[in-house]
Structure 1
Amino acid sequence: MSEAPAVAVVDAQTPGNVGTIARAMKNFGFSELLLVDPPELDRDGEAYGYAGQAREDVLPNATEIAFDDLVSGYHTVGLTATTNQNATSHVRYPFSTPAELAEELETVNAPTCLVFGREDNGMTNEELARLDEICAIPASKEYPVLNLGQAATITLYEFRNLAISDTQLPDVERDRASEAEIERLYDQFEDLLAGIGHPEEKRAKSGRMFRRLIGRAHPTDREAVTLLGIVRRATESINRKTESVSQDRD
């Protein structure tokens, strides 16, 4: 990976948690902090009080961003609590642990962002459905809930090899397709589902399955372009046949 992942916090409720995350970022070599609908960060308040040395660079350089722009501009990894969902439910499944995902991302050359949700209930299912991968921290079944600061610190520690400059990186990097190209592939897949008459109530779930599949595959630009072309031609062929049948009936 050529650049350390960015870190995003969605709708943080308290400034102190933003400061805690900034401090963890500083500890483990991360610098790009993105904030979606953040609270006010007063330089004399909790955020800067909890940030430690991150008050000098990470926190004041934080960028406010819309969730839509986050999704379209980065390969997104949503951080969430471990759930009991399985292969029949795709909103929070499948997920990787931070250690597993850190090893995988070492070979991915793409702008990546680790996305943390709200203190009380994380991210909504609708938000998670738009992210590319899910990451969860294994914890005791008796009490698996971590607060936001704990989750961020554990995760960023596991991802430190992607951020600390003197870490030896693999010689081979995966030439991942651009996020714009991959988003076009997702859009075309939606058109294909409509063209083949896939049940409308099942399209969102099928779209999530496809997004998670591509998210784990990290296709190259050539692979994404080729797959996009195949899906587009299939959609166009189906639409032509549908129009032909309609004209014959008329």
Structure 2
Amino acid sequence: MPDPAPSAPTQPVFVLVRPQMGENIGAAARAMLNFSLSRMRLVDPRDGWPNPKAVAMASGAAEKVLNFAGVFDDVAGAVADCDFVFATTARGRELAKPIYTPEAAMLEARQRILAGQKVAILFGPERTGLENDDITRANAIITVPVNPEFFSLNLAQAVLLSAYEYSRHTLDATPRDPGLAAHIPATAQDVEKLGDHFETRLDEAGFFTPPEKAPMMKRNLRNMWTRFAMTRSEVQMLHGALRQIFRARD
């Protein structure tokens, strides 16, 4: 169930991926509302939804964040309508993506939202963090410069840090020209479908060999598409080019 949202976004979507404890979801909701943020989405919460422990921890006013939270089966569905996605992780550096500090990331998010884009931020499960397959669906990575000997952050702490950094840029950020005037950015769903199209065609052509390397090859392709930050017209052009190549071959 998608969360209700205005047609022109005014804040980022905080996406909690496979959260394990209701208490942490409630604490994350409180952290968001501390900084006037309310757009939460949940991906496959371990203990189901709704969760009474989350409501108890939300403590009153923050319960409204939970009441309107969208619940999704997977990350792809949760970010399908978003134009730009950040993934918070202490790992993932083997994936070629831009890496931001929380401050720089939230300033970038603010500028994109002022330009009319929808921005999402992924937060991983408490014990393991985001998996590489989750991170490939993001355009960029947020890494907190913490003590390398103790780099683990609680879910609610990570949410609080990002919410604070976004909030403090709310008043002084100015719109920017992204250099794509008259062009609509491709949504995450547009990019996901392009990846599906390429995987299907390359599979038919026998590209993914040897079989044991196929998952890594497919992950690298997905990561490449999200890194490009394409427009919708560019995605459509690549679909058309792929169809033409295989039409000529057939």
Aligned partner of 2:103 in structure 1 is: 99
Matched position secondary structure for 2:61: helix
Call closer, same or farther: CA 1:118–1:180 in 2, change over 3 Å. closer
1:41 to 51, 56, 59: 51
Q: What is the rounded CA distance, in whole Å, between the counterparts of 1:95 and 1:168 in structure 2?
A: 21
Letter aligned with residue 58 of structure 1: V
- Kindly state the Cα deviation for residue 131 of structure 1 after the two structures are TM-superposed: 4.4
How many residues align? The count is 229
Q: Secondary structure at the match of 1:49?
A: helix
Deviates more, 1:22-31 or 1:190-199: 190-199
- Secondary structure of 1:139 counterpart: coil
Q: How does 1:88-237 map to 2 (within 5 A)?
A: 90=95, 95-105=99-109, 106-107=111-112, 109-160=116-167, 164=170, 166=171, 168-173=173-178, 175-200=184-209, 201=211, 202-237=213-248
Residues 130, 20 of structure 1: CA spacing in aligned structure 2 closer, same or farther, 3 A cutoff? Answer: same
**Alpha-carbon distance in structure 1 between the residues aligned to 2:137 and 2:220:** 11
Q: Which runs of 5+ in 1 are unaligned?
A: 241-250
Structure 2 CA distance for aligned equivalents of residues 207 and 101 of structure 1? 27
Q: For the structure 1 residues 102 and 212, does the alpha-carbon distance in structure 2 shift closer, same or farther, using more than 3 Å as the test?
A: farther
| Distance change >3 Å, CA 3–CA 235, structure 1 → 2 | farther
Aligned to 1:23: 30
> Partners of 2:151 and 2:73 in 1: how far apart?
30
Change (3 A) 1:180 1:147: closer
The separation in 1 between residues aligned to 2:247 and 2:214, in whole angstroms, is 19
TM, length-normalised to structure 2: 0.75
Deviations 1:213-236 (A, max 9, x none): 332332222222223222332343
Partner of 1:69: 77
Once structures 1 and 2 are overlaid, which stretch shifts more, 61-70 or 113-122? 61-70
Aligned equivalents of 1:47 and 1:161: distance in 2? 27
* Counterpart residue identity of residue 41, structure 2: L
What displacement does 1:151 show? 1.3
Q: Aligned partners of 2:227, 2:136: CA distance in 1, in Å?
A: 14
TM-score after normalising by structure 1: 0.75
Whole-angstrom CA distance in 2 between matches of 1:210 and 1:170: 32
With over 3 angstroms needed to count, the CA separation of the structure-2 counterparts of 1:138 and 1:193, relative to structure 1, is farther
- Contact 2:137 2:223 survives alignment (8 Å): no
Say which one has the larger Rg. Answer: 1
**Partner Cα distance (1:187, 1:180) in 2:** 10
User: RMSD across aligned C-alpha pairs, in angstroms?
Assistant: 3.0
